[in-house]
Chains A and B, each alone.
Chain A
Amino acid sequence: MTTLGAGHQTELDTDVDQPAIHHMEAERPDVDRSDGGLIDWVLSDPQLAAACSAAVDPLEIAARLETHGLSSRVAVDAFGYPDVFAAANVVYAYLPFEHIEASALPSEPMGGPLDLVRGALYALPALFFPVIVSGFSVHPRWWVLPVGLTVAWAISQAVAAIAWALRGLGDERSDSLVAFGSILVNAAVCLGCAVLAWWTLGGSEASVVIAVGIATYIGAAGILLFQQAEWLLAISMLPAAVGSLCATGLLPFTISHRAAAWSVVATTGLVIAVANRHVLSPHWRRPALHRAERERAAKYFLYGLGCGLLTSVYITFAEETNGGGGAMVIAVSPLLLTLGLMEWQLRSFRSRATSALATSPDLTHFGHQVRSAFGRSVGTYVAALAVLSVAGVVLGHALHSSMVPLLLAAVGALGVSFFLALLLGSTGRIDLVLICWAATFAILSAALAGTEIIRSHITPWAGLIALLVSIGAAIVIMAVLARRVLISPLSY
């Protein structure tokens, strides 16, 4: 509670323990015209006293006095002031200012080891694909992963943007519709793309089914992540995780490849069902979005599309070089194993930046703090990726695969670019990421076209080097932009 200084206290001679209104009534008709009577009355109510002490303007005190019963009428009758404003001026002048800690805005938590577990949820599905392929003895075409991944990535980003916009508007009733709709759209769009790919690039019904399965699974998992229901996703993934680990010999139990493949199917069904657990809720509501929100969702769609296409380009060339061997598994491992670290460092960066906001007295100080946080997060991520890549090179050497270093370099570049894109995207500057993606694809297209013209054939080596160069350019552009954008306090 706010208290007066000792000197002030001795000047007050009225009984502060009397109930407020009784005190006022007891003064009539001989009103107490001393300021002490008024201050005493204010101090008798701890809540009022605290509010008055923290007031930044006498009018704020006038408003508070009125809400506690001291109207102008009472100010005149009980305390002899001309009105409540005069009384408020006395309180403002008499009570010293007391700082009250405002209820802090929910601060952004630091990342931590728990994010590594979350990363496992993103990485584990990579195991499922080979399990399906071997378990059902199917031979999916090379386009299956690129199509499934790209469609799901693009649509999931757009859906997340829409869902966050609706949350921001307090419209949580649209959640069920968004969840159901997004999974349906994922499946339908992927089906269309996969059938098109089948016609033009060859393949089979199995390829189409697997591509649609991948896209639908990713869409549903994305909904669960948006709903912050990671634990539900983890439980739903258990059958496939256990089945896949058993089938690959990583667990001491063995089950048939077919059983493992069915466990993946079961998990896919479970994830889709759990993501739609509110679909029978009677609170269905058609989401109403403004044009700006739709535009924003479109930008996120393009962002996801860019991520998916870059990954697809990598998969396409890597598959050609690798021919399904172990080199690609080694190459993608650093990226998969650091997905959780990416999340950890993103959250830690944001937490450090928002802490810097709350403590920095000026923009220069804030800029220093943020640059340091940026360096720390990017440095940690790149260092972890580098260590794992070196381990990959050693493993690749053991496999006598000359492709591994290049594959690792390309994957590492993808990882760093995705991390920088995440940092920029988390500040709402997805437009800058799109510019970078556009630059990347321009460079990539030019490089591939140049190779085609000069050598009339694009080898996987050339393709991967072109990809590496273009992503390298994107990394440089994003790093420069990030340093400028992230030091603006308005980015948080």
Chain B
Amino acid sequence: MDIALLSEGTYPYHPGGVSVWCDQLVRGLAPHRFTIHAITGGGDRDPAWELPDNVDALHSIALWGPAPHPKRSVRNSAELRAAFEQLATSMVEPDGEAKFLYALHHLFALSQHTPMVGALRSTESLEVLLESMRQAGPSDRASDSDPEPVTVSDARLALELIEHQLRPLFAPPPEADLCHATANGLSVLLALGAHWSRNTPLVLSEHGIYLRERYLSYGPQAYSAPVRSIMLRFFKRLTWAGYQIANAIAPGSEYNRQWLEANGAAPERIHPIYNGVDAANFITSHSEPDLPTLVWLGRIDPLKDVETLIRSFAKVREALPAARLRIFGSASVENQSYLDRCVALRDSLDLAGSATFEGRAASVVDAYHSGHVVLLTSISEGFPYTLIEAMAAGKATVATDVGGVREATGDAGLIVPPQNPEKTAEACLLLLSDPGLRQTLGHAARTRILSMFTLEQSLAIFGDLYREVTGRISSALVLERNQDQSRRERDARVPPPSRRPGFPELATVPRARTQPTRDIVESGSRS
């Protein structure tokens, strides 16, 4: 089967969990042939991943590369104006979802006989968008101050953003038996092209929930309210469109199902598929470093909240001055300023000698084993690899309660609220000071991964899903697989607090300076 894998800002140009997942998927489903369609910022020239032999081609679609100046006849075409007006008004009309999808189709149809990249950059488009933006503000919300007026600058910026975000729609549609989008959003524009031109089915994976992450990245500090309002409407409509055309939607965790359903995904098309790890690659180790050491591994990105990690570590150091923090991971060009901010924060907290940024880990397993405890401080996640890999390596973990983290850890790790350095530090101190608890949790973690989240299981489900959506296997086999998967989902689901067994050791938690973690309180209060 020929599969078009559609990615945005990840594989194969950047490291990170989604890229790990893509690499595993492509290699693991080796009989199938893959073509990678990577949407990039524009500056990505050399892939960060070595492409496996079953990848036939890599197509890069640059969002921000230079565009040729379109011919006047194209920019002034009445059809183009009508299509863009349809798009702009659909974003502000209460039930504009279908109209938005129709407008995308209209634009796609135009792109089949006209070069469209850059064509939307016209004064006419600007006027249309400006009018829509005037209606897009949070008018349904009480305000103590005058609403922020929409300016020409707002409309220009929004038009610029929309024009660039729509470029994948104008790229040549993938030619494959199946499209697999690694996230909703811009990748779906490629899938729409394939759907409209060849009726290609779509499998849509959702790791961290694309729309939620857009809501977080389009913050009030970054853009004015009018720009945020129109852009978030754009992404909301686009996300809805993705859910409508997807034959199967595969969130990385059960928790994220609610975001999908809240944004128009049909429940019967949702099949959560957990990430898996190849446990053979994650051996356990009984040796630990001499100094109490915390390890963090991942992409340096605001969504990973490295600042909370550093603040938490500062609190750990107050109680345990010998403690060390090793941060493994690199920042993309776009996140270089965030990395600088994190380094500045570390330095301002006088942690330069104890918290080290070590770049991308040469060996992930060695990185996990270079500490006593592995941390995850993200504010948004799907089903994080850092966590399941560390668990597979038998490490005790402290992770924030986001996305599918609870489903991954179950009772085999400590969970703390996100953006809460006090709770995070307290959980770390608890584990650093109790070797027995570390060992118990590490062992439980590895057992949980081996029984529930192996790469083999994950790949088998995707293989079946591919065959199902392309009509190549009977639904009976899929049903059988799904029943097995449902069983795993049920097992993975975290039971309500009142029924949780808790760890006997946790009852001995000292109620120190800060409030204990939620899980600790739950267990403690029951014992």
Contacts and interface: CB of A to CB of B under 8 A. Distances in A.
Contacts of B329: none
Contact of B43 (A19, A50, A171, A359): A171
A293 B43 CA distance: 12
Given A54-B225, A489-B152, A490-B126, A59 B215 contact: yes
A288 B262 contact: no
A108 interface: no
Nearest to A172: B333
A288 B43 CA distance: 9
B225 A99 contact: yes
A360 B420 CA distance: 42
Contacts of B515: 19, 21-22, 25
Given A83-B258, A102-B220, A363-B126, A66 B380 contact: yes
Interface stretch (B2-10, B13-21, B60-68, B341-349): B60-68
B398 interface: no
Main secondary structure of the interface of B (DSSP, over half): loop
A488 B152 contact: no
A386 interface: no
B221 A103 contact: yes
B141 A170 contact: no
A59 B236 CA distance: 10
A490 B121 contact: yes
B380 A67 contact: yes
Interface stretch (B142-150, B281-289, B388-396, B470-478): B142-150
Interface stretch (A68-76, A127-135, A262-270, A319-327): A68-76
Contact of B211 (A59, A69, A165, A169): A59
A59 B218 CA distance: 12
Interface string A352-365: 00101111111101
Contacts of A489: 123, 126, 152-153, 155-156
B401 interface: yes
Interface string B194-221: 0000000000000000011101100111
B425 interface: no
Contacts of A488: 123
Contact of A25 (B212, B221, B518): B518
B232 interface: yes
Contacts of B262: 59, 85
Contacts of A171: 43, 45
Nearest to B497: A77
A171 B143 CA distance: 44
Interface in A340-357: 354, 356-357
Contacts of B144: 5, 96-98
B243 to A, nearest CB: 14
Given A68-B419, A489-B123, A431 B232 contact: no
A141 interface: no
Interface string A95-124: 011111011010000000000000000000
B466 to A, nearest CB: 31
Given A60-B232, A489-B123, A165 B66 contact: yes
Given A20-B417, A21-B423, A361-B150, A56 B43 contact: no
Contact of A103 (B149, B222, B402): B222
Contacts of A431: 69
Contact of B145 (A67, A99, A356): A99
B130 interface: yes
A358 B153 contact: yes
Interface in B224-268: 224-225, 227-229, 232-233, 236, 255, 258, 262-263
A366 B152 contact: yes
Nearest to A68: B419
Given A85-B262, A293-B66, A489-B152, A56 B121 contact: no
B258 A92 contact: no
Contacts of A356: 152
Contacts of B255: 71-72
A360 B418 contact: no
Nearest to B215: A63
Interface in B121-155: 121-123, 126-127, 130, 137-138, 141-145, 147-153, 155
A170 B333 contact: yes
A480 B23 CA distance: 56
B521 interface: yes
A25 B522 CA distance: 8
A165 B418 CA distance: 39
Contacts of A293: 65-66
Interface bin, chain A: 35 or more
Given A51-B219, A171-B43, A63 B212 contact: yes
A290 B65 contact: yes
A417 to B, nearest CB: 22
A71 B401 contact: yes
B376 interface: no
Contacts of A66: 212, 379-380, 402, 418
Nearest to B219: A51
B223 interface: yes
Interface string A259-286: 0000000000000000000000000000
B321 interface: no
A290 B63 CA distance: 13
B152 A67 contact: no
A487 to B, nearest CB: 9
Interface string A150-184: 00000000000000010011110000000000000
A33 interface: no
Nearest to B423: A21
Interface string B334-362: 10000000000000000000000000000
Contacts of A5: 144
Given A57-B229, A69-B420, A97-B143, A490 B224 contact: no
A258 interface: no
Given A96-B143, A102-B223, A67 B402 contact: yes
A222 B419 CA distance: 48
A68 B400 CA distance: 10
B417 A69 contact: yes
B463 interface: no
Contacts of B151: 357-361
Contacts of A371: none
B379 A67 contact: yes
Contacts of B148: 99
Interface in B346-387: 379-380
B501 interface: no
Contacts of B379: 66-67
19 contacts: A22-B515, A24-B518, A51-B219, A57-B229, A68-B417, A69-B401, A69-B420, A71-B402, A93-B141, A96-B144, A98-B145, A169-B45, A292-B65, A292-B67, A354-B153, A361-B150, A489-B155, A490-B121, A490-B126
What 10 pairs between A and B have smallest CB-CB spacing?
A: A69-B417, A67-B379, A169-B43, A54-B220, A170-B333, A63-B215, A100-B220, A357-B153, A97-B143, A292-B66
Given A57-B215, A73-B406, 19 more contacts: A19-B514, A20-B420, A25-B515, A51-B220, A59-B215, A60-B215, A64-B215, A71-B401, A84-B258, A97-B145, A98-B144, A99-B148, A165-B66, A292-B67, A354-B153, A363-B126, A363-B152, A489-B153, A490-B121
